[in-house]
């Protein structure tokens, strides 16, 4: 069993590293060539897929601030059937879904190639960077309870 004081120091160090990585990552993402409306759709779509209520609320508020209209926000869970999204947006939403659910089948060549054709490799890579990942510290908290 680890000493609680030592464990506390591990937690502080881990939190600091995660915070620095998040700040640096967000600074980079703010400079990408991806349109703000597309960034918002990517983040909100991944949050819906992950069923993260906090994230859905946060990203829908952010999307509205960036000029996203209500109808598109409401249509996002059924984006495949909606006429409200452009071909590029539909392709990126498909990419977002395949990456978010990567354990099911991975990213298909068709999806990736269509995105590259529409956006180019650099912007596809930037889109992938915008896809929210589940909180990394959740796995740390789960592991930490076994260390005490």
- List pLDDT tens digits, range 18-41: 778 878 888 888 889 999 999 999
- List pLDDT tens digits, range 71-124: 999 999 999 999 999 999 999 999 999 999 988 888 999 999 999 999 999 999
Q: Full-prediction pTM beyond 0.75? A: yes
Residue extents of the structural domains in the chain: 1-31, 33-136
Q: Is the pLDDT of residue 140 over 50?
A: no
Contacts of the segment 74-77: beta carbons below 8 A, 24+ positions apart: 76/41, 76/44, 76/45, 76/48, 77/48
CATH H-level, domain 33-136: superfamily: AhpD-like (1.20.1290.10)
């Amino acid at each position: 069993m680890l000493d609680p004081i030592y464990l506390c120091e591990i937690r502080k160090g881990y939190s600091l590293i995660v915070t620095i990585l998040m700040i640096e990552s967000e600074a980079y993402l703010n400079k990408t060539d991806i349109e703000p409306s597309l960034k918002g759709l990517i983040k909100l779509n991944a949050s819906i897929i992950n069923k993260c209520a906090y994230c859905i609320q946060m990203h829908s508020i952010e999307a509205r601030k960036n000029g996203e209209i209500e109808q598109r926000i409401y249509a996002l869970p059924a984006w495949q059937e909606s006429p409200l999204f452009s071909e590029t947006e539909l392709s990126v939403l498909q990419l977002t879904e395949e990456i978010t659910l990567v354990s099911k089948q991975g990213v298909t060549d068709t999806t990736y190639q269509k995105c590259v054709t529409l956006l180019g490799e650099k912007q596809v890579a930037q889109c992938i960077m915008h896809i929210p990942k589940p909180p990394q510290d959740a796995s740390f908290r789960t592991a930490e309870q076994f260390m005490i």
